[in-house]
Structure 1
């Protein structure tokens, strides 16, 4: 899975430098640093409350933070969320943000063509006229995931994308992520388990209490057993 890594002489596509977030006197992120190269898939794991979702919000510019975020060698620290979106940063959040009173088709067409989403999940065709509020958690997750992918992101942030989906749907999501790694400059996935995605990940970051404690390559899964249950 190292065909697309850019560690030899290439520029880094995403760099976080000293990212810290403090809310009401409580440190949520503490000096987070990482560099992810073009074409890489990075997995961020850690227990609930470790700061994974907060890190994604910082990358999107949705919250205030200290530190720097660099994309394509451009400092975007002061860029607003809509400016980051225009640069191709797309996030599929952990909490499924769909318009509940709209149909599946209407929700998906906010981001692109419904037909493109059906190519990812043919099941959506039968659900096209159903209101999202009537969907199961796994079905909503398919809507969120397909919406993110059909917008053709350059930087894809997936926060707990496999939550509530069946093993079969999870496997198809992993295949889709891996298939698109050439066209998507970078994919970062937040997840509290690693068995679903580790084998296609270039880097695995272990986050605990708002700080990245360890970095592993995708083939070092066994070393993680001492840190987290897998």
Structure 2
């Protein structure tokens, strides 16, 4: 396992006792997790476990009903998605669609709307380096891209923000196996550059292959924390999913 920060480094994201939900429906219960600088963390769990809700609460799309979120030492309670993105916390939302009537380049320009022009142009080129397929189509309308290429463009939009932490919600959804590997290859490349990633993914083996640590969520709670390369992890994940394991906290 590779860890992205030296001893004594502060977490880039620290979630403590977080509670959130929709109206009177409580979804998250006392959720705590941490992500270190340059670390990839997989967030796994069955459908309905609360993974997407957790990402929405962390990025300011959903208000907290308890607990706290600290990003780079900053209290994020009350911060909205725009403030989070400006701080370097970028959330790539599952099923997010690109603007189909404007070009690939203009989609990326919009992602960096508040940046100085020269810096915005540089960041767009940086983002496109990860995805040669869409770099070659920069003047094409977003709607002319395949579904897989649109997913790449969504990730590239997040990269324009040059995030300290990128949260990816099901980036493989609807992609062919080859394109899944391309998108997850970007996760590995981001880690090498010191960017932290929180990855929600149903393809467990592929997620673990690019991750340092893993959290499993079940029924709105963290049921397991472990190193991603722990030998008996698949068995422990299965037990946690189906109720055979009480909440554990094993630090990798």
Tell me, yes or no, whether TM beats 0.5. Answer: yes
- The 5 A counterparts of 1:81-100 are 81-100=81-100
| Aligned residue number for residue 108 of structure 2 | 108
Instruction: Verify: 1:130 aligned to 2:130, yes or no.
Output: no
2:176 counterpart of 1:166: yes
Number of residues of Structure 1 aligned to a counterpart in Structure 2 = 228
Normalized per residue, the structure richer in strand is 1
Deviation at 1:182, TM superposition (A): 4.6
Asked if 1:52 is matched to 2:51, the reply is: yes
CA deviation vs aligned residue, 1:178-221 (integer Å, no higher than 9, x gap) = 22225444210111222112123111011111111111111026
Deviations 1:152-184 (A, max 9, x none): 111111111111222222223222222222544
Conserved? CA contact 1:13–1:185, under 8 Å: no
Q: Which has the higher contact order (CA 8 A, sep 6+)?
A: 1
Task: Name the residue aligned to 1:33.
Answer: 32
Question: Could you report, residue by residue, the CA deviation over 1:89-116 in whole angstroms, capped at 9, with x for unpaired residues?
Answer: 1111102232222222221222354543
- Once the two structures are overlaid, the 10-residue window that deviates more, 32-41 or 100-109, is 100-109
1:188 aligns with 2:198: yes
The answer as to whether partners of 1:90 and 1:155 remain within 8 angstroms in 2 is yes
RMSD: 2.1
For structure 1, list consecutive stretches of 5 or more residues without a partner in the other structure.
none
Whether 2:135 is the aligned partner of 1:155: answer no
- 8 A contact 2:129–2:135 mirrored in 1: no
Greater fraction helix: 2
Q: Report the secondary structure of 1:175's partner residue.
A: helix
Residue 166 of structure 2 aligns to a residue in which SS?
strand
Kept in 2, the 8 Å contact 1:14–1:36? The answer is: yes
- The C-alpha deviation readout for 1:59-106, integer Å capped at 9, x for no partner, is 111111121001222222132322222111111110223222222222
Q: How far apart, in 2, do the equivalents of 1:54 and 1:170 lie?
A: 23
- Three-state SS of the structure 1 residue aligned to 2:97 is coil
Structure 2 portions without partners, runs of 5+: 112-119, 242-252
Residue 22 of structure 1 pairs with residue 21 of structure 2: yes
Taking a change above 3 Å as real, the CA distance of residues 183 and 118 of structure 1, as seen in their structure-2 partners, is closer
After superposition, the Cα gap between the structure-2 partners of 1:117 and 1:51, relative to the gap in structure 1 and judged at 3 Å, is: same
